[in-house]
Structure 1
Amino acid sequence: MRSGALLVVGDVVTDVVARYRGPLAVGTDTAASVRRVPGGAGANVACWAARRGGAEARLLGRVGADAAAWHERALAACGVRPCLVVDEQAPTGTVICLVDTGASAERTFLTDSGATLRLEPADWSDALLDCVARLHLSGYLLFSEPSRALAAVALKAARARGVPVSLDPASAGFLVELGVDRFLELVDGVDVLLPSRDEACLLTGLPDVAAAAAELSRRIPLVVAKQGADGALVARCGTVRARVPAVPATPRDTTGAGDAFTGAFLAALLKGATPEDAAAQGCRAGALAVRRLGGRPPSEEWTSAEGWGSAQE
């Protein structure tokens, strides 16, 4: 076990969550409950690692001047040390999350990356790795040239210090645009890959998630495939070593459930848990995440101060 902090490098965005009961009425109005909450896969992972997992978590991200202070306060309220670069030319990234309030609570994202994908090597300092035991990269970094270059610099610096690196592919849709071969080239040297079911299958061309996770683990030492209500698979050396069951939950909003899993999983690894036990912690956090709105863990101090309403709003 390495003692130290978790450094997350990734996206910080403003989520506009619209909950509706389908189907959407195209060309006219659909009644919905709309909330503005802080989000971003990288930021969410850091918050779950700190608040649910008890880890010392830091976050490097890029935001616009329009919402920098708001996001810093939100991260600090979850126990995360924000290291935010303020972009004076681009606004903070915004994601519109359309959440069906039916049984699946499935969501659809409309994404304006804004300042998020403008992270660049100049935003990096090797000093960010001081006292860091694990580095986690959000897969969204791989979807623009500047942030790809930043990810490469961070990965190289971590490898030089012997700091293990994890990565979450982030988006099957963006993976298609980037290309599987290009993605696999970019993640060479990563120690832990945390794909969703769809991402694992896309990256291998295999329809079965267990076979896909096993195949990916021939390239990357540890692969943990997240399957939502079906739990998680832990694969190493070309073999699925464990099938971890999900924790039953009635979903209200599945936004950020995968981020919750990743944050709790990484925090558990920091404390010395086995990958299998860490995956069980991840499943518990994912179940908590789907019971509430938005992608962050509850923070009474923040919700009260900003007037969001209760965590179960």
Structure 2
Amino acid sequence: MSALLVVGEVVTDVVARHRSPLAPATDTAARIRTLPGGAGANAACWAARSGCADVRLLARVGTDQASWHEERLRSAAVRPLLVADGDAPTATVVALVDAAAERTLVTDSGAALRLSPADWSPRLLDGVRHLHLSGYLFFAATSRETVSLAMAAARERGIPVSVDPASAGFIAELGVDRFLAAVRGADVLLPNADEATLLTGLPGAADAAVKLSRHFPLVPVTLGADGALVAAAGEVVARVPAPSVRAVDSTGAGDAFTGAFLAARLSGGDPAAAARAGCEAGARAVTRVGGRPPGE
């Protein structure tokens, strides 16, 4: 058992980098690229790039772009388990990236959140050592039911489960209590600072991580340019700085952290070493446009 199974989403990213503020009701000059993305898919690609030899991704895509996304995943050494949806297009995200490399996302979930219980089988866990769930799938009833089945099946087999909360905005829309109830039982929760503070109601990331670690065994919290911290059993057990780099696009930095963190843990790294690997991957991610590793 050595495989990492990611249940997440595949997205077509339209990344628009604009150097001047957006001008309402007229044009704003930008450099625009269309790239493969999606938090789950990105994390899977970074896990493969970080040394995990068997990475699999279950996701739902529209028939419009299924073959393109499958080819891009295979080129990243990820085994695509894609369900083609003839009734909804592939999810699309428009990422507006400003001069400070901060991004604002406009999201059309398309087929991604239509991942259904019929798409899941416990056999997908054969040979799997770790299950990772993208938090976006918890924000719609159909996909939430699917990831709940996946989590239950993993726990029956004794397979650890991690969850990336994915979006403070969507958590607020769903409701903190509903989200926490849905992810109860996860072994690793990987929020960023905004998500951690929202989930706990505490103003500081460290305090929020400590509180969350009383409910989830391991809680790495990403802090952007300040690196990451890791909490376990009600205390902060590691603080890791981020490498100093020139950021051009923060899209996918958290996904890079997640993928590298999980790969390091699967290879036997302790939480601090895994967080260092995650921060290094996140730093590499922000130096390039898009959320995938270099060369993908």
Using the size of structure 2 for normalisation, the TM-score is 0.99
2:224 paired residue number: 228
- The runs of at least 4 aligned residues of structure 1 exceeding 2 Å deviation read 52-55
The RMSD of aligned alpha carbons is: 0.8
Find the residue that maps to 2:248 and give its secondary structure.
coil
Distance in structure 2 (CA, Å) of the matches to 1:55 and 1:42:
17
Distance in structure 2 (CA, Å) of the matches to 1:11 and 1:253:
20
Distance in structure 2 (CA, Å) of the matches to 1:35 and 1:84:
24
Distance in structure 1 (CA, Å) of the matches to 2:244 and 2:147:
35
Q: Please, which moves more after superposition, 52-61 or 188-197?
A: 52-61
Find the residue that maps to 1:37 and give its secondary structure.
strand
Task: Write the letter of the residue equivalent to 2:157.
Answer: R
2:52 and 2:266 in contact (8 A); partners too: no
Distance in structure 2 (CA, Å) of the matches to 1:128 and 1:249:
39
Task: Write the letter of the residue equivalent to 2:33.
Answer: R
Of residues 252, 259, 263, the one that matches 1:256 is 252
1:305 paired residue number: none
Of residues 204, 207, 212, the one that matches 2:203 is 207
1:51 paired residue number: 49
2:261 and 2:277 in contact (8 A); partners too: yes
Alignment of 1:270-289 (within 5 A): 270-289=266-285
Deviation at 1:54, TM superposition (A): 3.6
Alignment of 1:94-243 (within 5 A): 94-100=92-98, 102=99, 104-243=100-239
Distance in structure 2 (CA, Å) of the matches to 1:88 and 1:46:
24
Q: Percent identity?
A: 65
1:136 and 1:166 in contact (8 A); partners too: yes
1:35 paired residue number: 33
Distance in structure 2 (CA, Å) of the matches to 1:156 and 1:136:
13
Distance in structure 2 (CA, Å) of the matches to 1:251 and 1:144:
33
Find the residue that maps to 2:14 and give its secondary structure.
strand
Cα displacement string for residues 22-41 of structure 1 (whole angstroms, at most 9, x for unaligned residues): 21111000111110000000
1:142 and 1:148 in contact (8 A); partners too: yes
Alignment of 1:40-79 (within 5 A): 40-79=38-77
Find the residue that maps to 1:160 and give its secondary structure.
helix
Deviation at 1:55, TM superposition (A): 3.5
Whether 1:16 aligns to 2:11 is no
Give unpaired runs (5+ residues) of structure 1: 303-313
Cα displacement string for residues 109-137 of structure 1 (whole angstroms, at most 9, x for unaligned residues): 00000000000111001111011000000
